[in-house]
Amino acid sequence: MGSSSVVGIGVSPGRAVGPAVHLPDPVAEPPAGRRLPPGADRQAAAQRIAASADAVRDELDAAALAAEGDSAALLHATAAMAADPSLVADAQQRVLEEHLVPERAVWEAADAVSAQFEALGGHLAERVRDVVDVRNRLVAHLTDQQAPGVPVRPHPYVLVAQDLAPALTATLDPQRVVAVVTAAGGPTSHTAILARARGIPAVVAAPGVLDVAEGTVLLVDGAAGTVTPDPSDDAVRRVRALAGAVRTFDGDGRTADGHRVELLANVGDPADAQAAADSGAQGVGLFRTEFAFLDRTQAPDVDEQTAAYGRVLSAFTGRKVVVRTLDAGADKPLPFLHAAAETNPALGVRGLRVAQERPDVLEDQLTAIARAAAAHPGTTTWVMAPMVATVDETEQFVAACARHGLTTAGIMVEVPSAALLAGPMLAHARFASIGTNDLTQYTMAADRLLGAVASLSDAWQPAVLRLVESTALGGAAQARPVGVCGEAAADPALAVVLVGLGVTSLSMTPRALPDVAAVLAATDLATCRVLARRAADSSSAADARAVVRAGLPVLDALGL
């Protein structure tokens, strides 16, 4: 038997088994001016550069053959760069003439190529990243280090890392990386959201995993947050058996006794709307409109916004789309909206608050949403505002929507004040949607992006559950629907709790729909309520999770 289990926070459900492969450390720059010892064979040293370039090219070409689509094309392009004779010749010259050690010569030659590409600008400037990648791979090869980046292996494996940049997570191939375990990271970090969107089971905030030896077989449970080294044959067989079963969602969310729960999709990029519609989602519970505004120096004009929103509405003809107005600020800064730097951006001018300073931005957006809605009368268009904190803000937003003919206007409940005042707010707003990512951040006073406070940033925290309950009670008192569109809705066990607390719809990454639907379909409403009570009455997030999981044997049966 190997070492004992490692416990972290499960952020992307599912179970997988594979050998541990550690993400290599980044390649360090070889010291400037490091030269070959006097009398060393410079020709042989220069020859090693050519041999390393061939090896790196072959390794990348082999990886490209095993990959698909965009990843394959990217790897082939990097392989071509590694074989570039001018880079090799320049580095060799630096060995022969300046007596540099091969790794330093490669570093300097690659920097010279990067500088040229940058100066030429445009398309070539974009290739600087490839040059840096090739440089690092060559230096790693020449100094007998592991190649940087996501390791290439002939078999699927569990990726273990201190932390993972979102850009790297976005490139992970679920066929090759069967699970991810990181020592740092928070449950609502973008890495966690991307892992969930890619369907890769993931556990974060598990520092003990760094001590696991390379190659140790790990069973990762991305819902329970556990990592078991050297699992029993029986446990491995069960995981493998479940991996073959593909679940789908039939578009009708309900509990075992027929209580309806709308199961909706979260959409960001309008280009993803059709896939979300094809997943069976009963509508879009959260359309994050920020996408149209990111990386811009100016807000897009009304026509451009109308077209972007229309694309999502047209994919959901016959269904509902909840469009969220711009949520700029804090973790989603937009330079043209935020002139002054803030000491605490998460507590600053973000979400609906921006409308106080820039009413024109909200006006344009409501104009575009109203036009898109009018052009797609077959879709039911609802609008909601992020970061609403007071009854006055609610009234003002609802009135602004009404002026544009948008009659179904709602609020996001992301600030504890809104959860506590949901009743009075829902006397004005037609619906509420709980953003558990921010509600958790503000309830627990824990930055959602900070790994160090990850155990606080957990929607299973009983305080968060009690605020969900308060919101649902406020909704019931006004006969208004209350949904959840934060990441909590995608956790099948937590989904049961949310329904038991009185939530009427759940919106999530489309990939999570089949699992959430299957667990709800196996659980009656009375059980949801009993488990919800136990969770909300627990004294810690870990206890809440454990007591609910213990009451849901279906999770085990489905491998969740």
- Is the CB of 261 or the CB of 490 nearer to ligand PEP? 490
Q: Judged by CB under 6 A, which stretch of 57-65, 214-222, 436-444, 472-480 contacts ligand PEP?
A: 436-444
Q: Judged by CB under 6 A, which stretch of 41-49, 244-252, 432-440, 528-536 contacts ligand PEP?
A: 432-440
Direct distance between the N- and C-terminal alpha carbons of the chain, in angstroms, rounded to an integer: 25
Q: Judged by CB under 5 A, which stretch of 5-13, 67-75, 409-417, 510-518 contacts Mg ion?
A: 409-417
By CB under 5 A, residue 435 contacts Mg ion = yes
By CB under 6 A, residue 176 contacts ligand PEP = no
Q: Judged by CB under 5 A, which stretch of 237-245, 267-275, 412-420, 465-473 contacts Mg ion?
A: 412-420
Closest distance between ligand PEP and the C-beta of residue 516, in Å? 16
CB 455 within 8 Å of CB 187: no
Chosen residue from 8, 185, 481, 486 binding ligand PEP by CB under 6 A: 486
Task: Please give the helix or strand (H or E) that residue 385 lies within, else none.
Answer: strand 380-385
CB 365 within 8 Å of CB 291: no
Among positions 310-369, residues that touch ligand PEP (CB under 6 A) are 327
Closest distance between ligand PEP and the C-beta of residue 415, in Å? 10
Closest distance between ligand PEP and the C-beta of residue 505, in Å? 13
User: Binding marks (x or -) toward ligand PEP, 499..538, rule CB under 6 A?
Assistant: ----------------------------------------
Alpha-carbon dihedral of residues 147, 150, 155, 161, nearest 10 degrees? 100
By CB under 5 A, residue 272 contacts Mg ion = no
- Is the CB of 401 or the CB of 413 nearer to Mg ion? 413
Residue 321's binding partner out of Mg ion, ligand PEP, none, with CB under 5 to 8 Å set by partner kind: none
Residue 428's binding partner out of ligand PEP, Mg ion, none, with CB under 5 to 8 Å set by partner kind: none
CB 20 within 8 Å of CB 218: yes
- Is the CB of 441 or the CB of 478 nearer to ligand PEP? 441
CB 189 within 8 Å of CB 164: no
Q: Is the dihedral of CA 384, 388, 394, 400 positive or negative?
A: negative
By CB under 6 A, residue 78 contacts ligand PEP = no
The pair phi, psi for residue 184, each rounded to 5°, is: -110, -160
Contacts of residue 424, defined as CB under 8 A and 6 or more positions apart, other chains included, come to 391, 474
Chosen residue from 189, 226, 437, 538 binding ligand PEP by CB under 6 A: 437
Task: Please give the helix or strand (H or E) that residue 411 lies within, else none.
Answer: strand 409-413
Helix residue ranges, H only, 218-328:
233-243, 273-278, 302-315
Chosen residue from 262, 438, 447, 469 binding ligand PEP by CB under 6 A: 438
As a whole number of angstroms, the distance between CA 548 and CA 493 comes to 7
190 carries an active-site annotation: yes
Query: By C-alpha distance, which of 416, 422, 437, 556 is closest to 507?
Result: 437
As a whole number of angstroms, the distance between CA 384 and CA 398 comes to 9
By CB under 6 A, residue 435 contacts ligand PEP = yes
DSSP per-residue codes, 247-270: P---S--B-TT--B-EEEEEE-SG
By CB under 5 A, residue 222 contacts Mg ion = no
By CB under 6 A, residue 286 contacts ligand PEP = yes
Closest distance between Mg ion and the C-beta of residue 449, in Å? 12
- The catalytically annotated residue of 190, 338, 376, 404 is 190
As a whole number of angstroms, the distance between CA 329 and CA 352 comes to 10
- Is the CB of 133 or the CB of 438 nearer to ligand PEP? 438
Q: Judged by CB under 5 A, which stretch of 242-250, 294-302, 406-414, 460-468 contacts Mg ion?
A: 406-414
Number of residues that bind ligand PEP (CB under 6 A): 10
- Is the CB of 406 or the CB of 484 nearer to ligand PEP? 484
Q: Judged by CB under 6 A, which stretch of 127-135, 141-149, 274-282, 433-441 contacts ligand PEP?
A: 433-441
Closest distance between ligand PEP and the C-beta of residue 320, in Å? 17
Query: In this structure, what token pair is assigned to residue 2?
Result: 């190997």
Among positions 395-424, residues that touch ligand PEP (CB under 6 A) are 414
By CB under 5 A, residue 410 contacts Mg ion = no
Q: Is the dihedral of CA 478, 480, 485, 487 positive or negative?
A: positive
Q: Is the dihedral of CA 94, 98, 99, 104 positive or negative?
A: negative
DSSP per-residue codes, 486-554: SGGGGSHHHHHHHHHTT--EEEE-GGGHHHHHHHHHTS-HHHHHHHHHHHHT-SSHHHHHHHHHHT-HH
Query: In this structure, what token pair is assigned to residue 252?
Result: 């009708």
User: The sheet that has 226-229: what strands, in order across it?
Assistant: 6-7, 226-229, 217-221, 15-22, 157-161, 177-182, 202-204, 9-12
- Is the CB of 438 or the CB of 447 nearer to Mg ion? 438
Chosen residue from 130, 133, 262, 438 binding Mg ion by CB under 5 A: 438
- Site residues (CB under 6 A) for ligand PEP? 286, 288, 327, 414, 435-438, 485-486
Active-site residues: which are they? 190, 485
- Site residues (CB under 5 A) for Mg ion? 414, 435, 438
